[in-house]
Amino acid sequence: MKALVYNGPGKKAVEDRTKPEISAPTDAIVKLLKTTICGTDLHILKGDVPTCTPGRILGHEGVGVVDKVGNAVTAFKPGDHVVISCISSCGTCEYCRRGMYSHCVNGGWILGNRIDGTQAEFVRTPFADTSLYHVPAGAEEDALVMLSDILPTGFECGVLNGKVQPGSTVAIVGAGPIGLATLLTAQFYSPAEIIMIDIDDNRLEISSRFGATAVINNKDGKAVDKVMELTGGRGVDTAIEAVGVPATFVTCQDIVAPGGVIANVGVHGVKADLHLERLWDRNISITTRLVDTVTTPMLLKTVQSHKVDAKKLITHRFKFDNILDAYATFGAAADTHALKVLIEY
């Protein structure tokens, strides 16, 4: 089969690989129909994720058809259309029992990280019964690819961890795909204001269409002043970091109101400053999280009922044969205006 392989920082290639086989009774082999590229894949290629070693097939998102199942799999059978979760959960360890599937001692975020991932024609998915989801009849599979990672990440790490509430004021720093997924799902809780901050006018224009009440271009470095002006000098109840660079984390510290929450979503590859000399007395909370995908069943219902139009996050489409072009397009989003790129087999 063909697969996109990470060969060390800055190096990737399409290679021929052996089709995966069942190696544990809880495994399933899934034939991919659609996949996508995540910002985390770009972090891997930058060398920010040391757990992903050269030779690994990348990717942790996708929709496909079950090809084979191990003899302990009871919820799925060959021919079933499924959403592949970015998190593999055994369902029985201490962390899984606590709903922290991302820290499953037998799984977690392993696809495209510690085991071969979904940017291939076939993928082995461990713990199939608790790591795959049935595609409902008539559902639009393009939209469901967004359920593998991006929607639950924005919702769990940003909205839930950020304690977004009716009438609250929210700022999302970073209007990329994760920031926009956070924007879409924050609206479940009817905050009074959702302020989007970025340096890309195209993404800010999309943010306005997706429901932001205000947008701020921070090219001039004055986003903090503008947020304070919008909030009467108070700041925001929830500041969500959705980029993963030190400067945006500091911006969140500068705009959070007393009693507020800073919810970090971005993947950080280098250290970031925490200004406790300013924050120690402000009653704020800072949260971090890797998506657990505990909300995927709920989000699946919202997508199926069109309460969330996840498909509008897709801006570009490629065939798998052109996956290197897809990476080039996604990696140059400022020029290509790419959000999510859909890769079809």
Which whole number is the average pLDDT over 222-249? 97
In this prediction, residues 243-269 reach a mean pLDDT of 96
pLDDT value for 100: 97
Instruction: Give the confidence band of 90 by pLDDT, cuts at 50, 70, 90.
Output: very high
The pLDDT value given to residue 14: 98
Residue 138 has pLDDT above 90, yes or no: no
Question: Where, residue-wise, is CATH 3.90.180.10 in the chain?
Answer: 2-149+292-344
Architecture of domain 2-149+292-344: Alpha-Beta Complex (3.90)
Query: Which are the contacts of 255, defined by CB distance < 8 A and separation ≥ 6?
Result: 171, 223, 224, 227, 228, 235, 236, 239
Which DSSP helix (H) or strand (E) runs through 15? strand 12-16
CA atoms within 13 A on the CB side of 340: 29
Strand partners, 14: 4
The whole-number average pLDDT for the span 152-164 is 98
Residue 11 has pLDDT above 90, yes or no: yes
Average pLDDT over residues 25-41: 97
The continuous run of DSSP H or E covering 153 comes out as helix 150-153
Average pLDDT score over residue span 58-75:
98
State mean pLDDT over 8-20.
97
Neighbours of 86 (CB within 10 A): 30
Q: Considering the chain, tell me which residue range(s) the CATH 3.40.50.720 domain(s) occupy.
A: 154-287
Q: What is the mean pLDDT of residues 279-293?
A: 97
Report the alpha-carbon distance of residue 76 to residue 92 in Å, rounded: 19
- Tens of pLDDT along 108-136? 999 999 999 999 999 999 999 999 999 99
Query: Across residues 198-223, what is the average pLDDT?
Result: 97
Q: Which amino acid is at 127?
A: F
Domain 154-287 fold is Rossmann fold (3.40.50)
- Report whether pLDDT(210) > 90: yes
Asked if the model's pLDDT at residue 188 lies above 90, the reply is yes
pLDDT of 17 reads 97
Helices 246-255 and 223-230 meet at what angle, rounded to 10?
Answer: 30
- For the residues 224-235, what does the mean pLDDT come to? 98
Q: What is the pLDDT of residue 269?
A: 84
Strand partners, 68: 29
In the block, tokens 């790129």 appear at: 341
Q: Does residue 48 have a pLDDT over 90?
A: no
Q: What pLDDT sits at residue 137?
A: 86
Of the chain, the percentage scoring pLDDT greater than 90 comes to: 96
pLDDT at 172: 98
